[in-house]
Amino acid sequence: MVETKRWTVTDPVENTQVIKKAAVLLKEGQTVAFPTETVYGLGADATNESAVSGIFRAKGRPEDNPLIAHVATKSQLQKLVSHLPAVAEKLIDTFTPGPLTLVLPSNGTCATNVTAGLSTIGVRIPDHPVAQQLLKECNIPVAAPSANISGRPSPTTADHVWSDLNGKIACLVDGGPTGLGVESTVVDCTQELPIILRPGGVTREQLEVAVGTVMVDPALAGKEGQPKAPGMKYTHYAPEVPMWLVAGSSERIQNIVINERANGKKVGVMASSDTAQRLEADRIIPLGTSLNEVASGMYDALREFKTGDVDLILCETFPEAGIGQAIMNRLEKAATHFLKD
């Protein structure tokens, strides 16, 4: 058990002392949680194997899953890779800083437990003022998976991080709620065509406008083999109680609620605002009217359902266009059962 410092940053320019103190901790080999535009990350010096091991210990995560190295600029990114393919350069220029991670040939600068022993490395330039200032101040690549207990829903507020990791990490930089709410898109740029390994904040449609044909890894939801990107192995995003993903109409969802209540269960529901207003259950959390709102509120809703409040969560499915692909990828990983049409 360690004392976890919690420092609030209302403005990264005005709160430079907080940023400087957090940067010192990172350079000393400590673990620091900080906001990005997607979710909160748990960072450590990506060149320091011992420091990176602290991430795995805090999260309770196996070390056979690669981490993403975060940097502030394209020039810093180039120092971590053996070469930068033309397609990767185009994606960097178009989408970064932003919610995009590129898998590239590693030059060995980062520790082997960042790459999980692979010859490739995932690198990202986050678009969040706190993350940008912190990365510029420490001037080192920072390995940073989501700042949560492994398997739990990803953290989109500092309170989520505090709930999971207080006493396990050196510092939490509280920069308020994140914006996007789902993790970055991970694209493998080491093949002839770019391949999406994890859908996220940059959609396939957006990628293809920039660089043409983009493939999707057929093993996206699989658990076999050595993963090239986070989120491809093990259970992720699970709430405290079982969750069923339900395809179909609001009437189908309501019938399941009725049946499960008849079996003595308290039932919660996550659904779009339109669907939610047509349902009756023990607890209902509307996720919003647009897919962007669903993405932003999904992890918070998963954390809201606590053991004892409900026995079962039902969640409707969403169209897999645009950001919907990332939403459904996360919900399928969180679900204990998928009731398809």
Q: Which residues pair with 34 in a beta bridge?
A: 41
Domain 5-216, architecture per CATH: Alpha-Beta Complex (3.90)
Q: Which residues pair with 312 in a beta bridge?
A: 267
> Looking at residue 95, what is its pLDDT?
98
- Residue 216 pLDDT > 50: yes
Report the amino acid identity of residue 179. Answer: G
Q: How far out from the chain centre does Cα 118 lie?
A: 21
pLDDT digits (tens, 9 = 90+) for 96-112: 999 999 999 999 999 99
Edge-first strand order for the sheet with 243-246 is 283-286, 267-271, 312-316, 243-246, 337-339
CA separation for the pair 111, 123 (Å, rounded): 13
**CA angle at 46 for the pair 43 and 51, rounded to the nearest 5°:** 70
Using pLDDT thresholds of 50, 70 and 90, give the confidence band for residue 187.
very high
> Looking at residue 64, what is its pLDDT?
85
Across the range 135-143, mean pLDDT stands at: 98
Percent of the chain at pLDDT above 90?
A: 89
In the chain, what are the domain boundaries? 5-216, 243-339
CA separation for the pair 94, 102 (Å, rounded): 13
Q: Could you give the 3-state DSSP secondary structure of residue 273? A: helix
Residue 227's Cβ-count burial label (10 Å; 0-12, 13-18, 19+) is: buried
- Residue 221 pLDDT > 70: no
Using pLDDT thresholds of 50, 70 and 90, give the confidence band for residue 223.
very low
pLDDT digits (tens, 9 = 90+) for 3-20: 999 999 988 888 899 999
Using pLDDT thresholds of 50, 70 and 90, give the confidence band for residue 226.
low
CA separation for the pair 20, 293 (Å, rounded): 33
> Looking at residue 234, what is its pLDDT?
52
List Cβ neighbours of 124 (8 Å cut-off, separation of 6 or more): 68, 69, 70, 71, 96, 100, 101, 102, 184
In degrees to the nearest 10, what's the CA dihedral of 195, 198, 203, 204? Answer: 30
Strand bridging mode 5-8 / 171-174: parallel
CATH class of 243-339: alpha beta
pLDDT digits (tens, 9 = 90+) for 247-266: 999 999 999 999 999 999 99
In this prediction the pTM is 0.93
pLDDT digits (tens, 9 = 90+) for 270-326: 999 999 999 999 999 999 999 999 999 999 999 999 999 999 999 999 999 999 999
What average pLDDT does the chain have? 94
